[in-house]
């Protein structure tokens, strides 16, 4: 292994040092020819532009928070080096890349006012409006993310951003992935295309940002292991090749496909900027049009899902939405920013036909128009910041509201505290309300009897470079909506549990307490990074299942090597969560459902990594779950769905400038 690592680093050092200077220097103007032609004119010294720095490459979020490109190598970058490109501490991935992630922690707060399509287990890698970034860069910037997958495939996320002037920036990116997987019929391929534009007029009165996103996630589904005790947990050497383990079926797949067009623009009717006053009055318009569908396909009926009307199975739920927001805002240096807005939301959730049986009639469509009003207020005074927003539906069938408020105070450069509150009332996702399938038991219409989910939460955050980061959140939910199976013990023993999965609402309140603490200890070139999360759920019936304790601890070493040409980080990460009745996965719905018969968890996950940084290139090499061969085959991501075995994966993140 040590020779493999040395060869790997040597190859990348050779290619990386061959690059030109990473950030282009400002070109000096040759004035000699100019002076020869203008001997009689007075000499004019051209202003010298400051040299470019990495902080000039700005990234702007949907909420207009601005950060800059970060090319450092840190332990946080190690945690984010995965398919989702974010820290997956509260998630438990399945065996293959881009398969579902089971929840080790939840956030009860709603991010958006209106219901979504559903299929949440398959939707985790789908980029929403809030996930798209906008850029402001002085020169073209390329970001390449590469990582190996499992058998016959790779993961690549390539992005390019550039400008045509100081005021107009473009961004184009594509994230493509294919992985065959170790188990039978578990191949996945996905594509996430997005392009965005960011514009500001010369007088700064008009601003515009827009994006287009086209995404698809296509996954083979096998229903999990057919005989986990005999072929997996027994550790029989005949089944070390996971492709030899029997699965429940090999003829099903599901797919999510979506297209979205987004535009956000603002025009300042009045603005004044001087050393004393900064004020502005503007009108804004935000528009989103999106089409999205979830489809389940199976060549023939399988008793795993029960009886069917016809075969082959082709279930398809489609959602089309229009969103328009017209706003008026006032900003003043002393009073802060105040905005009022009106939302018009049109939705059309539908299936191909109406279903009529001897016992019920299932409609094929839910559609309507929603009108809502709202406002927000933002103000910063020294180290104190206040942020509040309210949206309230006034007409439409999806009567709802959402309220958020936060107050933050920066004690000094090292300590910051924040308190936030959330309250919302809204319908659950559309697949809870209406669903149609070729399978007889997967047809329901709850649009007339399901009630709004009501959520209230309070959160406290302490960010300290001395004491660490502490987050405590308490949330309570009325009418908690979930999926579970109505199968009897005999039906479960016969493998028919999924044939009786239906949506339900809990009549009693469900309360959730989450406390998470992060702290890193450093001694010389060694560091120990710790994240610990405690959770407690108070409920009359067991409808929300979560581990009580989740911990991740990384011991690592950092140092410059090869005469400071390379920055190296290497270490071991330990992750563990206590045993609990982990949610089960249903591939027909693309959802997890509650089960209370089988406890899983309480097994260690150990990863060994070697990461290196050469200029703007970060190189990653990891031995994932290297303890799997000697701690027993008890590692599951969901009932009947194992976590991945020991595997070595590598890749890089490379930023270069033009």
The pair phi, psi for residue 5, each rounded to 5°, is: -65, -45
Domain boundaries, the chain: 75-657
- The contacts of residue 290 (CB under 8 Å, 6+ apart) are 258, 259, 260, 261, 319, 320, 321
The pLDDT of residue 276? 60
- In this structure, what token pair is assigned to residue 583? 């949610």
Q: Check if the beta carbon of residue 195 is closer than 8 Å to that of residue 174.
A: no
Q: Are strands 510-523 and 384-395 parallel, antiparallel or unpaired?
A: unpaired
Q: Which long-range CB contacts under 8 A does 349-355 form with residues at least 24 apart?
A: 349/117, 349/317, 349/318, 349/319, 349/430, 349/434, 350/317, 350/318, 351/316, 351/317, 351/318, 351/434, 351/436, 352/316, 355/436, 355/443
Complete DSSP assignment for 81-100: -STTSS--TTEEE-SSTTS-
Q: Check if the beta carbon of residue 295 is closer than 8 Å to that of residue 330.
A: no
DSSP state of 247: B
The pair phi, psi for residue 37, each rounded to 5°, is: -90, -10
- In this structure, what token pair is assigned to residue 253? 């797949």
- In this structure, what token pair is assigned to residue 31? 């004035």
Each residue's pLDDT tens digit, 221-276: 999 999 999 999 999 989 999 999 999 999 999 999 999 999 999 999 988 876 56
Tell me the average pLDDT across 74-101: 96
* Average of per-residue pLDDT values in the chain: 91
Each residue's pLDDT tens digit, 380-410: 988 899 999 999 999 999 879 999 999 999 9
Each residue's pLDDT tens digit, 186-212: 999 999 999 999 999 998 899 999 999
Q: Check if the beta carbon of residue 312 is closer than 8 Å to that of residue 297.
A: yes
The pLDDT of residue 258? 98
The pLDDT of residue 5? 41
The pLDDT of residue 658? 81
Domain 75-657 has CATH 3.40.640.10: no
The pLDDT of residue 50? 73
CA distance to 18, 447, 563, 615, per residue, from 21 (Å): 9, 61, 19, 9
DSSP state of 52: P
The pLDDT of residue 48? 61
Q: Check if the beta carbon of residue 378 is closer than 8 Å to that of residue 337.
A: yes
Q: Cα 478 to the chain's mean position, in Å?
A: 26
Tell me the average pLDDT across 292-307: 96
Strand ranges for 18-140 from DSSP E: 58-60, 66-68, 91-93, 101-103, 134-136
The pair phi, psi for residue 555, each rounded to 5°, is: -105, 120
- In this structure, what token pair is assigned to residue 296? 């389940």
DSSP element (H, E) containing 4 = helix 2-16
Question: What is the value of pTM for the model shown?
Answer: 0.90
Alpha-carbon dihedral sign for residues 565, 566, 567, 570: negative
Other Cβ atoms closer than 10 A to 27? 7
- In this structure, what token pair is assigned to residue 528? 């120990």
Does position 604 have pLDDT exceeding 50, yes or no?
yes
Tell me the average pLDDT across 448-455: 95
Higher pLDDT, 347 or 17: 347
Alpha-carbon span 439 to 502, nearest angstrom: 12
Confidence of residue 8 (pLDDT cuts 50, 70, 90): very low
Tell me the average pLDDT across 212-217: 98
The pLDDT of residue 216? 97
Q: How far from each other are the two terminal CA atoms of the chain, in whole angstroms?
A: 36
Comparing C-alpha atoms, which of 656, 657, 644 is closest to residue 148?
Answer: 644
Q: At which residue do the structure tokens 């992985």 appear? A: 179
The pLDDT of residue 447? 93
DSSP state of 50: P
Comparing C-alpha atoms, which of 388, 378, 462, 377 is closest to residue 421?
Answer: 388
Other Cβ atoms closer than 10 A to 589? 27
Alpha-carbon span 656 to 658, nearest angstrom: 7
Comparing C-alpha atoms, which of 383, 486, 501, 382 is closest to residue 439?
Answer: 501
Alpha-carbon span 313 to 19, nearest angstrom: 53
Each residue's pLDDT tens digit, 12-66: 444 443 343 445 444 433 333 333 344 344 455 555 667 888 889 999 999 999 9
The pLDDT of residue 141? 95
The pLDDT of residue 615? 87
- In this structure, what token pair is assigned to residue 565? 């040409």
From 30-39, 290-299, 552-561, the region with the lowest mean pLDDT: 30-39
Alpha-carbon span 417 to 461, nearest angstrom: 6
Q: Are strands 206-221 and 278-298 parallel, antiparallel or unpaired?
A: unpaired
For the purposes of burial, counting CB atoms within 10 Å of the CB of 44, is it exposed (0-12), middle (13-18) or buried (19 or more)?
Answer: exposed
């Amino acid at each position: 292994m040590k020779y493999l690592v040395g060869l790997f680093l040597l190859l990348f050092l050779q290619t990386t040092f061959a690059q030109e200077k990473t950030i282009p220097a400002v070109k000096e103007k040759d004035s000699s020819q100019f002076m020869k032609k203008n001997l009689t004119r007075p000499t004019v010294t051209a202003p010298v532009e400051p040299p470019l720095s990495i902080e000039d490459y700005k990234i702007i979020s949907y909420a207009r928070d601005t950060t800059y490109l970060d090319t450092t190598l840190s332990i946080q970058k190690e945690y984010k080096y995965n398919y989702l490109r974010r820290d997956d501490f509260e998630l438990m991935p399945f065996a293959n890349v881009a398969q579902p992630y089971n929840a080790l922690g939840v956030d009860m707060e709603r991010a958006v006012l209106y219901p979504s399509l559903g299929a949440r287990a398959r939707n985790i890698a789908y980029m929403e409006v809030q996930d798209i970034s906008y850029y402001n860069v002085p020169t073209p910037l390329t970001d390449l993310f590469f990582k190996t997958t499992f058998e016959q495939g790779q993961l690549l996320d390539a992005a390019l951003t550039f400008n045509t002037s100081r005021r107009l920036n473009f961004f184009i990116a594509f994230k493509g992935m294919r992985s065959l997987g170790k188990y039978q019929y578990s191949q996945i391929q996905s594509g996430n295309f997005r392009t965005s534009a960011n514009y500001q007029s010369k007088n700064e009165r008009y601003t515009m940002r827009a994006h287009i996103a086209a995404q698809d996630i296509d996954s083979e589904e096998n229903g999990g292991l057919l005989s986990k005790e005999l072929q997996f947990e027994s550790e029989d050497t005949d089944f070390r090749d996971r492709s030899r383990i029997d699965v429940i079926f090999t003829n099903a797949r599901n797919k999510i496909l979506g297209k979205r067009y987004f535009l956000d623009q603002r025009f300042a009717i009045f603005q004044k900027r001087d050393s004393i006053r900064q004020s502005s009055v503007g009108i804004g318009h935000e528009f989103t049009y999106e089409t999205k569908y979830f489809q389940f396909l199976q060549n023939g009926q399988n008793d795993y899902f029960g009886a069917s009307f016809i075969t082959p199975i082709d279930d398809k739920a489609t959602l089309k939405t229009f969103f328009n927001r017209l706003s008026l805002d006032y900003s003043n240096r002393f009073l802060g920013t105040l905005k009022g807005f009106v939302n018009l939301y049109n939705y059309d959730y539908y299936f191909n036909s109406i279903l009529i049986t001897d016992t019920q009639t299932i409609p094929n469509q839910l559609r309507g128009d929603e009108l809502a009003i709202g406002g927000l207020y933002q103000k910063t005074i020294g180290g104190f910041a206040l942020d509040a927003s309210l949206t309230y539906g006034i007409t439409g069938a999806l009567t709802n509201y959402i309220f958020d408020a936060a107050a933050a105070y920066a004690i000094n450069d090292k300590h910051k505290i924040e308190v936030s509150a959330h309250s919302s009332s809204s319908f659950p996702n559309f697949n809870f309300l209406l669903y149609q399938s070729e399978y007889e038991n997967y047809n329901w219409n709850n649009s007339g009897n399901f009630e709004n989910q009501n959520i209230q939460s309070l959160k406290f955050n302490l960010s300290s470079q001395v004491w660490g980061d502490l987050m405590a959140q308490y949330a309570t939910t009325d009418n908690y909506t979930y999926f579970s199976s109505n199968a009897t013990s005999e039906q479960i023993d016969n493998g028919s549990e999924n044939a009786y999965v239906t949506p339900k609402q809990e009549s009693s309140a469900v309360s959730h307490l989450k406390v998470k603490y992060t702290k890193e200890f450093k001694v010389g070139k060694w560091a120990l990074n710790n994240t610990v999360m405690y959770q407690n759920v108070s409920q009359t019936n067991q409808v929300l299942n979560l581990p009580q304790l989740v911990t991740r601890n990384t011991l690592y070493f950092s140092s410059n090597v090869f005469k400071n040409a390379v920055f190296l980080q290497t270490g071991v990460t330990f992750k563990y969560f206590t045993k609990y009745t982990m949610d089960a996965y249903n591939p027909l719905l693309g959802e997890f459902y509650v089960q209370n018969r089988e406890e899983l968890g309480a097994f260690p996950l150990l990863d060994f990594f070697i990461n290196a940084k050469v200029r703007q290139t970060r190189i990653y090499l990891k031995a994932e779950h290297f303890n799997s061969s000697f701690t027993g085959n008890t590692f599951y991501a969901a009932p009947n769905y194992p976590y991945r075995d020991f595997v070595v994966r590598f890749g890089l993140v490379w930023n270069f400038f033009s």
